Amino acid sequence: MRIPLSWLGDYVDLALPLEALCHRLTMAGLETAPSDGGRVLESEVTPNRPDWLSVLGVAWEIAALCEMKLRLPDTAYQELGAAIDESVDITIADPDLCRRYSASLVRGVSVGPSPRWMQERLLAAGMRPINNIVDITNYVMLEYGQPLHAFDWDKIKGGKVIIRRAGQGERLTTLDGVNRALTPEILVIASAKEAIAVAGVMGGSDTEVSEATTNILLESASFSGRSVRRTSQKLGMRTEASIRFERGISAGLTVPALRRATRLFLEIAGGQAARDVKDLYPSPQECPEIRISQDDLSRTLGVDWALEQARRALELLGFATRNEGAALVVQPPLHRTDVMLMEDVVEEVARIIGYDAIPTTTLRGPLPEPKEDPLRSLEEEVRDILTGYGLQDIITYSLIGSRALEQVRYRGPEPIRLANPMSREQEVLRPTLRTNLLSGLATNQRYGEEGVWLFEAGKVFWPREGDLPDERRVVGAAICGPLADRSWLKKQREVDFYVAKGLIEGLLGHLGVQGVFEPAGDPFFIEGRAASVQAGNVNLGAVGEVHPVVLEQFDLQPRAVCYFEIDLERLLPHFRHVQRFQDLPRYPAVSQDLSILLDKGVASGMVLEIVQSFSLVRRVTIFDVFTGEQLPPGKKSLSFSILYQSPERTLTDEEVALVHRSIVERLGRELGASLRG
């Protein structure tokens, strides 16, 4: 924003030297610097301060910083014409996109060059003079920050103005001479027959002011910033008006800016103004009233400034204030749409009094007690364990594509879709980590990595009817490749189901959780090489070898890829925060092997559960599983080693033999197992 100093001087006395003034403004948050030999003030405007895109907005800052009174422009003028309602009919068809629409009517103007002083100020501000009518609208826009547009009233067909969405296939030739296709998302200003302007962006050439124009309808409106921004992007048109509307302009500015421009019309272009102005405001918005107290100032800023000191600073900025008990009730001025909260008001006080007036002090008061988050503690513990096992922790995006879910044969809850996705790869919130981890695996393989062990601990999102999504913390892992680097000392072994199952067993063991594995059917995994992970009859997740069809979808190499995913929220109730340790056994152990025949459909976990239920059994290890023609049809051989031990005494051969026979008898009775000869 470029502001001639002579223009600022109309509203406030520039008592400070220019360098000192720029420094004060910069300290208050407005980056400024002199240019053009000290005749123009250059400012960098932040997105949250649309008022700084106006001369008056900057003048308010200077007046407050220098503790001076602001001189506001005169907006009064004689209304000698007939009432505007007799000639002008205005309708707001879409009030959600147009909050307020104000207009004045001036007849008998003379279009010509604007005065030299106005042209010089516009040129210094970076705008090209055109004629007195257009120059006045630009001048007042720069002055108030409120865009205006002048229509040739005689060219508006039917004498009717309608603010509506564009019709499908409707077209408009704008002032830059381009014939543009409009869509129903675009708000337009229309006559009774056709669109005559793109609301908040640019007018149309059919109603353009020319040298032959004598009657002017002047528009001053408040349009939806979001709508103007989308229209500007869609049409590829970024104008001074759209820049201001995008940042949010108070609807309260429309009438003051309208009257200021109408007064300048009468002074510079002559003519006669209609009585009254047309002002449509379907849903008036009141300026917020914000209460602040002495405690609010002290707590937020850490200084004991008096409330009266804060009141003086706010009134210098144009805030209305009144005392209400021990508090101060504050109402922001029309141009300050960014002030909504108590903290916003306190910030204004600090800006004007000066941040350098806040002394540097040490921390005061008790520090808040940290709140323990058991779920986060569990997640960090899981990260440490898996990292210790050699897995690489990765972080991926929460947004994925719908096709990616089809690729992993997803069968869970319906994913949550974005209303306006940026791309096909970011259409839904991920309900599982499968797609992210397999994509990460594929990326690493493309770079020549063989053994890739990845995991991620993060959130997945499930729909929850009538409420926000259920954000669940889970951990997932995808592994593939050899277990160790190539060596001539031993044969290379690839990752398989049992490796992934062993990782989960180790993870749960470190957490003090007794896990149970049950056969599972999931099209994501190879049939017969997948299991659900349970604890206390609660399903924690799944583990298995990924189906080759899924691997093809991600261009993964045709080798075994194992995957597991655990729901940390379901795991949390079983997590033992305190590990309990036992003394080393003082008495010797006895080891015996056992080989049994049983049906192929009997899971080995069922055998282990029975064997481990005997009190003298310390450990059970399966060391062989065999199926083949040497065995009866439908049978398999299971061999395992049992370690017997008592914490109280040395076991005798008779005691071990008795327990051993009892195990065999129970296996036969409950699982139909028999000793293998």
Tell me the β-bridge partners of 638: 596, 625
Q: What is the mean pLDDT of residues 271-288?
A: 92
Cα atoms in the 13 Å half-sphere on the side-chain side of 42: 7
User: Tell me, what's the pLDDT at 630?
Assistant: 81
CA distance 152 to 208: 6
Question: pLDDT, tens digit, for every residue of 586-600?
Answer: 889 899 998 888 888
Q: What is the mean pLDDT of residues 350-370?
A: 84
- 329 and 246 in one domain? no
In a domain, 361, yes or no: no
User: Tell me, what's the pLDDT at 453?
Assistant: 93
User: Tell me, what's the pLDDT at 342?
Assistant: 94
| Domain end marker among 280, 311, 343 | 280
Distance of CA 182 to the CA centre of its chain: 30
Lowest mean pLDDT among 144-153, 341-350, 508-517: 508-517
Q: What is the mean pLDDT of residues 326-334?
A: 92
Question: pLDDT, tens digit, for every residue of 626-638?
Answer: 888 888 888 888 8
CA distance 31 to 22: 8
Say if residue 363's pLDDT is above 80.
no
| Confidence tier at 290 by pLDDT (50, 70, 90) | very high
User: Tell me, what's the pLDDT at 260?
Assistant: 97
CA distance 30 to 125: 17
In a domain, 230, yes or no: yes
- 301 and 179 in one domain? no
Say if residue 578's pLDDT is above 70.
no
- 648 and 538 in one domain? no
Q: What is the mean pLDDT of residues 391-416?
A: 92
- 140 and 208 in one domain? yes
| 424: phi then psi, degrees, rounded to nearest 5 | -70, -20
In a domain, 35, yes or no: yes
Question: Domain limits at 230?
Answer: 84-280
- 499 and 443 in one domain? yes
For the domain that residue 619 is a member of, what is the CATH number? 3.30.70.380
User: Tell me, what's the pLDDT at 156?
Assistant: 94
Say if residue 582's pLDDT is above 80.
no
| Confidence tier at 10 by pLDDT (50, 70, 90) | very high
User: Tell me, what's the pLDDT at 486?
Assistant: 64
Q: What is the mean pLDDT of residues 102-126?
A: 96
CA R_g for the chain: 39
The CA distances from residue 474 to 461, 471, 536, 541, 566, in Å, are 10, 10, 18, 9, 6
CA distance 442 to 635: 39
- 151 and 47 in one domain? no
| Domain end marker among 280, 306, 321 | 280
| Domain end marker among 11, 33, 65 | 65
Candidates 40, 30, 222; CA nearest to 124 is 40
In a domain, 536, yes or no: yes
Question: pLDDT, tens digit, for every residue of 18-30?
Answer: 888 888 888 888 8
Q: What is the mean pLDDT of residues 324-337?
A: 91
CA distance 106 to 137: 14
For the domain that residue 422 is a member of, what is the CATH number? 3.30.930.10
| Confidence tier at 358 by pLDDT (50, 70, 90) | confident
Question: pLDDT, tens digit, for every residue of 437-490?
Answer: 999 999 998 887 778 999 999 999 999 888 889 999 999 999 998 877 666 666
| Confidence tier at 312 by pLDDT (50, 70, 90) | very high
In a domain, 169, yes or no: yes
Q: What is the mean pLDDT of the chain?
A: 91
User: Tell me, what's the pLDDT at 38?
Assistant: 83
How is residue 580 written in tokens?
């309990």
Lowest mean pLDDT among 82-91, 573-582, 615-624, 656-665: 573-582
User: Tell me, what's the pLDDT at 142?
Assistant: 97
| Confidence tier at 237 by pLDDT (50, 70, 90) | very high
Q: What is the mean pLDDT of residues 377-406?
A: 93
How is residue 618 written in tokens?
């310390």
pTM for the model: 0.63
- 183 and 239 in one domain? yes
Strands 416-417 and 2-4: unpaired
Q: What is the mean pLDDT of residues 189-204?
A: 95
CA distance 579 to 571: 16
Say if residue 677's pLDDT is above 70.
no
- 238 and 93 in one domain? yes
- 351 and 448 in one domain? no
Residues 6+ apart with CB under 8 A from 625: 604, 636, 637, 638, 639
In a domain, 365, yes or no: no
In a domain, 213, yes or no: yes
In a domain, 79, yes or no: no
Pick from 61-70, 108-117, 657-666 the range whose average pLDDT is largest. 108-117
Q: How many domains does the chain have?
A: 5
Lowest mean pLDDT among 151-155, 329-333, 453-457, 595-599: 595-599
What does the DSSP assignment read for 160-195? EEEEEEPPTT-EEEBTTS-EEE--TTSEEEE-SSSE
Residues 6+ apart with CB under 8 A from 485: 451
User: Tell me, what's the pLDDT at 235?
Assistant: 94
User: Tell me, what's the pLDDT at 485?
Assistant: 66
Say if residue 584's pLDDT is above 90.
no
For the domain that residue 263 is a member of, what is the CATH number? 3.50.40.10
Q: What is the mean pLDDT of residues 224-237?
A: 94
For the domain that residue 51 is a member of, what is the CATH number? 3.30.56.10
CA distance 107 to 102: 17
User: Tell me, what's the pLDDT at 606?
Assistant: 83
- 564 and 450 in one domain? yes
Say if residue 309's pLDDT is above 80.
yes
User: Tell me, what's the pLDDT at 27?
Assistant: 87
Return the percentage of the chain with pLDDT > 90, whole number: 61
CA distance 37 to 34: 7
Say if residue 579's pLDDT is above 80.
no
- 301 and 157 in one domain? no
Residues 6+ apart with CB under 8 A from 405: 415, 428, 431, 432, 435
- 402 and 342 in one domain? no
Tell me the β-bridge partners of 172: 180
User: Tell me, what's the pLDDT at 629?
Assistant: 81
Q: What is the mean pLDDT of residues 143-167?
A: 95
Is residue 410 within 8 A of residue 454, CB to CB? The reply is no
